[in-house]
């Protein structure tokens, strides 16, 4: 009596494709493939999903674009990996490595 639980709202596209990775037949896709050469079956698609790269991006400070001055050589310091509290002792990378 109740057929409602078979309802699937998402449109499916029928076809006769092949997975470019494992060669498995693909007969149904949740989207209309534009490039049928590079289709992947569901399994390969899962495998090939790009890994999220959670490497934290080091925040760089640039003193609102002003930069700082090196206390040693007077050279300009464009960016620092920290927000310096005491700018009178700042050193550029060159002087810092000396």
Count of alpha carbons within 13 angstroms of residue 12, beta-carbon side: 10
Residue among 60, 55, 57, 25 nearest 40 (CA): 25
Q: Which of 29, 69, 75, 78 binds Zn ion (CB under 5 A)?
A: 75
- Count, residues near Zn ion per rule CB under 5 A: 12
Stretch that binds Zn ion, among 1-9, 39-47, 51-59, 81-89 (CB under 5 A): 39-47
- Least separation in angstroms between residue 11's CB and Zn ion is 22
Residue 67 touching Zn ion (CB under 5 A) = no
Q: How many CB atoms sit inside 10 A of residue 17's CB?
A: 19
Q: Which two tokens stand for residue 32?
A: 């209309």
By CB under 5 A, the residues from 14 to 33 that bind Zn ion are: 19, 21-22, 24
Which part of the chain contacts Zn ion (CB under 5 A), choosing from 5-13, 27-35, 53-61, 87-95? 87-95
**Nearby residues of 27 by Cβ (< 8 Å), 6 or more positions away:** 14, 15, 16, 17
Question: Which residues of the shown chain bind Zn ion in the complex (CB under 5 A)?
Answer: 19, 21-22, 24, 41, 44, 70, 72-73, 75, 92, 95
């Amino acid at each position: 009596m109740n057929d409602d639980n078979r309802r699937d709202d998402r449109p499916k596209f029928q076809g006769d494709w092949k997975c470019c990775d494992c060669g498995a037949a693909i007969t149904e896709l949740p989207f209309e493939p534009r490039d049928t050469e590079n289709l992947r079956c569901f399994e390969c698609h899962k495998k090939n999903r790009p890994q999220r790269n959670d490497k934290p991006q080091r925040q760089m400070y640039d003193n609102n674009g002003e930069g700082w001055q090196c206390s040693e050589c007077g050279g300009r310091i464009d960016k620092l990996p920290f927000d310096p509290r005491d700018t009178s002792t700042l050193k550029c990378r060159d002087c810092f490595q000396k």
